Amino acid sequence: MPAEINLGSSLERLAGIGRRRSQLFQQLGINTIGDLLFYFPWRWEDRSVQEGINSPSPGTKATVRGWLTGWEERRPRPGMTITKFFLQTEKARIGLVFFNQPFRKAQLGRGREIIATGKVEMRLGQLQMNNPEIEMASLDSGLHWGRIVPIYPVCRGLSPRLLRSTVYRAMETCGNMIREIIPPPIRKGQQLLSRAAAIKEIHFPTDWESLRKARRTLAFEELFLLQLGILQPSKDVSGIVHQAHGELVGKFLTNLPFQLTGAQKRAIAELTRDMEGTQPMNRLLQGDVGSGKTIIAAFALVKSVESGHQGVLMVPTEILAEQHYLNLRQLLAPLRINVALLSGSISGKVREETEEDIKCGKAQVIVGTHALIQEGVDFANLGLVVIDEQHRFGVSQRSHLLKKGHSCDLLTMTATPIPRTLALVFYSEQNITVLDELPPGRQPIKTYWVGENARHKVYDFLRQRVMEGRQAYIVCPLIEESDKLKVRAATELKADLQEKVFPDFRLGLIHGRLRLEEKEEVMGKFRDGDIDILVTTTVIEVGIDVANATLIVIENAERFGLAQLHQLRGRVGRGTHDSYCFLLGSPTSQEGIQRLKAMTATSDGFHLAETDLNLRGPGQLLGTRQSGLAELKIANLKDDMALLLEARREASAILNRDPNLTDPAHNGLRKSLEELFGPNWQDRQA
C-alpha cells in the first residue's frame, strides 16, 4: 500500500504520469508534486471565449467557439499543403488555416464544436486564423480554454498542454496541503493572499487582478526568505576598536607613491570610521578595474597593525597573492611592518616557518590564497580580514577566515561592479563604498571587436606597439573541459606565435598548472619588461597590474561573460599610455553579439553590469559562488524594488525578535530557509 500522496511525492503518483514523462519533468528541475506547484508560468493568456468577433484588432489573440462546417485543401506548390476549415461562430465565419498539417482533416471531422485560439486577421474580406490552437468544446473547459490559462516554460517532449493539465491534477490532489510560512501579522499587514490561494491563482487565475495579487504574494515570499537568509540579526557584538591614526598610519599616508583620488580619500575616511567604531566593520569596496583598491587595503592593514593586530589579505589566485605580497612589502618596508606570503604551493620548511610566524605574531600582515583558511593556520591576534576579488569566494570561505580571529573587521573588495538593486538584495548587510573615480591620466581603453579575417592586422598592430616599447597579453580561448586541455591549448598557441608570427619578440606563457616559482618567474620577467608578449589563460583575469602592458587580445571572446571580458580588459589601461583591447570572436547567439557590442560601446564597469543584468538576469550574473541565493523564480529585481524594501524591513524586524527563528510560530519559515540555504543557514556569517 503506497504511502499517502503529499507534496513530497513523486510525480508518478499523478494519473497520466509514468516513468518517461516524469523524467522529462526532471529536466525542468521538477521531481515532486511540490516542485510542480512551485513551477510558475512565465505568462498567461486570456482564453475566455469571445462572444462575437467581427472586427478583429490586428495582432491580438482571440479565443472563439463555433461549429466546423467544412474544409478545403490546396497545394499551391509542391511540398506545401494548405488546409482550411470553416468555423461558424454565433456572429461570424472564420477560416482556420493550417500549413502542411494534412492530418488535421482526421482530427477535425466536420460538424464538431470546437474552440480556436489564435491571431485573427482579415484576408480578402474574410476573417482568418493561421495555425490556431484547437480544443474540443466538449472537453476541458476551465482548463485549456474558457479562462485565463497559464503558459509554462517547457522542454522538448513536454507540451504546454501536458504541463497545464499535470499542474491542474497536482493542485486537485495536493493544493490544499500547502502550508503557510509567512507569519499572519505580516501576511495581513502586507495584504498578501494565503499561500495556497496564491499558488492556485498563479496557475489558474480567477481574473487578472487575482493574478496580480498572487504574483505579489509569491514574490514577496521569495524576497522575504532571501532577506532572512542574508540579513544579520543585529547582534550586539563589540568589535575591535582600532585606535586613532598614529605615527605609523601618518607615515604611510605621507609616503604614498601618488596622490589619492577623491574617491580613495572618501573610502579611507569611511574605513577609519568603521575601524575605530565599536561594531565590527563589514564593508564592501566596489571599484572598477584599475580604480586603485589595493592602496585602500594597504591602508586598512597598516591601521590594524598600528593597533597591535594582524591583518590578512586573501586573494583568489597565487599570481595575484604574489603580486600583492611584493607590492605590500615595498609599501610597508619603510614602516618596518613584516609581511608574509602563504599559498597552496608554499610547502615544506618555508611553510612551517611562515605558519610559525603567523602563530606567534611575527608576521604582521599576511597575504595569501585559500591556503589561509586551512586548518593549522592560526593567528596570534587577527584584527582585520581583507578579501580581494571577493566575488570569487563563497560565503563560507569568508566566514572561515573570519573565524580565525574574534569579531574581526572585514573589508571585501570587488571589481565586478554589482548594480545597486543586486547589491541591496545580496549584500544587504554590508556597507558599501564605491570608488567612482579613476586615477588621473588614464586613457579610455580603445576596444575593437574583430573577426578572424582581421587577425593579421591585429598582430601587425601589436607588433608596432611592442616596437614602441609596450607589452601585450594574448588570452587563450576559454576551454571549459579540463585544466589539461587549457594548458595544452595555451602551450600550442604560444609555440605557434613564437615560431610563425613573432619570432623576433620575447614571448612568455602562464597558466594555472605552473608551479608557484615558475609563475613567479614569468610574472617577474613580464613586470620587468623582459617578456614582450604574455600568452595566458584566464589566470590573469583578476588583479594583475602591469602598467606598461597596454594591449590585450582576447581569443574566442564570444565564449566569455561580460564581467569576465571587462576584468580581462582591465589588465590594460593602467598607465598613461594609450591602451587597446581586441576581441576576436564570431558569436552565433544574439546575446553573444550584444555582449561584444556592449564591450566596444563602454568601458564603464557599472554600465556593463547593468547590461549584464538585463542580458542574463541576476542568477547568472552572481554565479554559483553566491550559493543558492541567486535564482529568483518569480520576483523581478527591475520591477519589484518597492516590494524588496518591504520584505527587507519585515525580515529584519523578525530577526531582531527571533534571530534563529526558534519560535514555534516560525517553524515553517525555518524549514523553508533550511531547504533554500542548507541546514546551517544561520551561519550566514561568522
The binding site for Mg ion (CB under 5 A) comprises 543
The region of 196-204, 260-268, 371-379, 468-476 touching ligand ADP under the rule CB under 6 A is: 260-268
- Closer Cβ to Mg ion, 434 or 673, answer by number: 434
> Three cell numbers at 48?
475566455
- Closer Cβ to Mg ion, 290 or 405, answer by number: 290
- Closer Cβ to ligand ADP, 199 or 387, answer by number: 387
Q: CB of residue 418 vs Mg ion: minimum separation in angstroms?
A: 16
| Closest to 669 in 3D by CA, of 219, 178, 198, 180 | 180
Residue 411-430 contact track with ligand ADP, rule CB under 6 A, x = bound:
----x---------------
| Among Mg ion, ligand ADP, none, partner that 311 touches (CB below 5 to 8 angstroms by kind) | none
| Among Mg ion, ligand ADP, none, partner that 574 touches (CB below 5 to 8 angstroms by kind) | ligand ADP
**How far, CA to CA in Å, does 679 sit from each of 229, 585, 670, 674, 683?**
12, 44, 10, 5, 9
- Closer Cβ to ligand ADP, 127 or 510, answer by number: 510
Q: Looking at residues 535 to 574 of the shown chain, list those that interact with ligand ADP (rule: CB under 6 A).
A: 545, 547, 574
Residue 490-509 contact track with ligand ADP, rule CB under 6 A, x = bound:
--------------------
- Closer Cβ to ligand ADP, 116 or 328, answer by number: 328
Is there a contact between 10 and 111 (Cβ–Cβ < 8 Å)?
no
- Closer Cβ to ligand ADP, 42 or 258, answer by number: 258
Q: CB of residue 387 vs ligand ADP: minimum separation in angstroms?
A: 13
| Among Mg ion, ligand ADP, none, partner that 439 touches (CB below 5 to 8 angstroms by kind) | ligand ADP
Q: Looking at residues 433 to 452 of the shown chain, list those that interact with ligand ADP (rule: CB under 6 A).
A: 439
| Among ligand ADP, Mg ion, none, partner that 258 touches (CB below 5 to 8 angstroms by kind) | ligand ADP
| Contact with ligand ADP (CB under 6 A) among 83, 173, 294, 317 | 294
Pairing of strands 282-287, 133-136: unpaired
Residue 160, classed as helix, strand or coil, is helix
Pairing of strands 133-136, 113-123: antiparallel
| Contact with ligand ADP (CB under 6 A) among 258, 269, 352, 656 | 258
- Closer Cβ to ligand ADP, 200 or 574, answer by number: 574
Burial (CB count <10 Å: 0-12, 13-18, 19+), residue 297: buried
Residue 412: other Cβ atoms inside 10 A: 22
The region of 228-236, 257-265, 403-411, 594-602 touching ligand ADP under the rule CB under 6 A is: 257-265
| Contact with ligand ADP (CB under 6 A) among 292, 311, 368, 417 | 292
- Closer Cβ to ligand ADP, 574 or 648, answer by number: 574
Please, what is the Cα angle at 674 between 671 and 677, to 5 degrees?
145
Q: CB of residue 296 vs Mg ion: minimum separation in angstroms?
A: 10
Whose grid coordinates read 580613495? 264
- Closer Cβ to Mg ion, 544 or 686, answer by number: 544
How far apart are alpha carbons 180 and 568 in whole angstroms? Answer: 47
How far apart are alpha carbons 471 and 465 in whole angstroms? Answer: 7
- Closer Cβ to ligand ADP, 155 or 256, answer by number: 256
Q: CB of residue 17 vs ligand ADP: minimum separation in angstroms?
A: 53
> Three cell numbers at 286?
566596489
DSSP code of residue 175: G
How far apart are alpha carbons 67 and 266 in whole angstroms? Answer: 75
- Closer Cβ to Mg ion, 7 or 313, answer by number: 313
| Contact with ligand ADP (CB under 6 A) among 11, 289, 401, 563 | 289
Q: Decide: is 377 part of the binding site for ligand ADP (CB under 6 A).
A: no
- Closer Cβ to ligand ADP, 276 or 437, answer by number: 437
How far apart are alpha carbons 503 and 497 in whole angstroms? Answer: 8
How far apart are alpha carbons 585 and 450 in whole angstroms? Answer: 7
| Contact with ligand ADP (CB under 6 A) among 41, 56, 132, 287 | 287
| Contact with ligand ADP (CB under 6 A) among 264, 447, 550, 564 | 264
Q: CB of residue 328 vs ligand ADP: minimum separation in angstroms?
A: 11
Over the range 325-362, which residues count as b (16 or more CB within 10 Å of their CB) and which as e? Answer: bbbbbebbeebebbbbbbbeebeeeebeebbebbeeee
The region of 254-262, 390-398, 416-424, 593-601 touching ligand ADP under the rule CB under 6 A is: 254-262
The residue type at 170: A
Residue 481, classed as helix, strand or coil, is coil
Ranked by CB distance to ligand ADP, the top (closest) residue is: 292
Sheet with 365-368, side-by-side order of all strands: 339-342, 365-368, 310-314, 382-387, 409-414, 282-287, 431-435
How far apart are alpha carbons 337 and 343 in whole angstroms? Answer: 20
Q: CB of residue 652 vs ligand ADP: minimum separation in angstroms?
A: 31
- Closer Cβ to ligand ADP, 2 or 441, answer by number: 441
The region of 10-18, 232-240, 282-290, 627-635 touching ligand ADP under the rule CB under 6 A is: 282-290
Run of H or E including 568? helix 562-569
Ranked by CB distance to Mg ion, the top (closest) residue is: 543
| Closest to 419 in 3D by CA, of 429, 403, 407, 432 | 432
For 418-451, give the DSSP string: --HHHHHHHSTTSEEEEE--PPTTPPPPEEEEE-
The residue type at 467: M
Binding site for ligand ADP (CB under 6 A): 258-261, 264, 287, 289-295, 415, 439, 545, 547, 574
